[in-house]
Structure 1
Amino acid sequence: MTRPFRLLPFLGLALAIGFTGCQSKAPQPKRQPSAAASTKSAALRNMEQVAKAAHRCWFASKDPAFRSYSFANELNNFSGRPRFLLVPHNDYGGRPLLVVQAEGAAGKLDTFGPLLDQPLGNRISGDITRWSSGDQSCASSA
């Protein structure tokens, strides 16, 4: 005759083995982002520089030449082409009148839209060229 208390150690061991089989894997150490993933693309760096200057010089300064337009920032879009738009004032869903975007490894800037064919177009082109070269001044005039 066996005593039931003698089986308790074996029962405990069997339960411990069974529960360890149900446990999830040990947590993996967090990986640090690679240098390539943590750095901004040249296109984004260029567009941030130009967009900040455009907002500061054209809109935050309340420049009357840009009173009829609103600034729509799309630097964080997923197309690989960060950009900003000028749209009719208070109509962010309106047809863009100016698109300034950058793309590629060199971060080449491209501007297009009907506003460039207006009298303000020369000023816009000059400002964008100046800002993309690193000069952040608002020195240009219409």
Structure 2
Amino acid sequence: MPFTYRLLAAFPLAALGIVLSACQTERPAAVTANRAALPTMERVAIAANSCWFKSGDAAFKPYRLAPELNSFSGRPRILAVPRNSPESRPMLVVQAEGNPARLDAFGPMMGGPEAERIKRDVLRWARGASGC
């Protein structure tokens, strides 16, 4: 088939494709929170600061938040450190790694009575919730 005939034969197919695509309804893009380690830990840090530390929560009153989000190890994290001795060993470490983020929480507070609540809060915030 000569070139001009192939071009003419292809034109109706291209026109049909354009017409059909114009008839389709456009679906909105799904709104999902970025699931990489850094954005996940940023969400967790903001919510933890608000809900645990600034709210006067009795379990966190003796501690202060020490965010370490700019990590060269690829593991952004937040720490709960003694309020009057921030250079001391952290009582809680929450960190994330990878994309999608894999979360880990450890330290003395994870062996105490608040461990389940900490775990629930962190997982909820990591998924994008912001409430206490």
Q: Confirm or deny a common fold (TM above 0.5).
A: yes
What residue is the counterpart of 2:105 in the other structure? 111
- State the shift of 1:121 in Å: 1.2
What residue is the counterpart of 2:72 in the other structure? 78
Q: Which amino acid in structure 1 is aligned with residue 99 of structure 2?
A: A
What residue is the counterpart of 1:65 in the other structure? 59
- State the shift of 1:77 in Å: 2.2
User: Segments of 4+ in structure 1 off by > 4 A?
Assistant: none
* CA shift digits 1:58-100 (9 cap, x unpaired): 1111222211111111001211110000111221111111110
* CA shift digits 1:106-125 (9 cap, x unpaired): 12111111101111111111
What residue is the counterpart of 1:136 in the other structure? 130
Point out where structure 2 has 5 or more consecutive residues left out of the alignment: 1-33
Instruction: Say if 1:70 and 1:91, in contact at 8 Å, map to a contact too.
Output: no
Q: TM-score, normalised by structure 2?
A: 0.70
Q: How many residues align?
A: 99
Q: TM-score, normalised by structure 1?
A: 0.65
Greater RCO structure (CA 8 Å; 6+ sep): 2
RMSD between superposed Cα atoms in Å: 1.6
Q: Which amino acid in structure 1 is aligned with residue 42 of structure 2?
A: E
Aligned equivalents of 2:53, 2:60: Cα separation in 1: 7
SS at 1:64 equivalent: coil
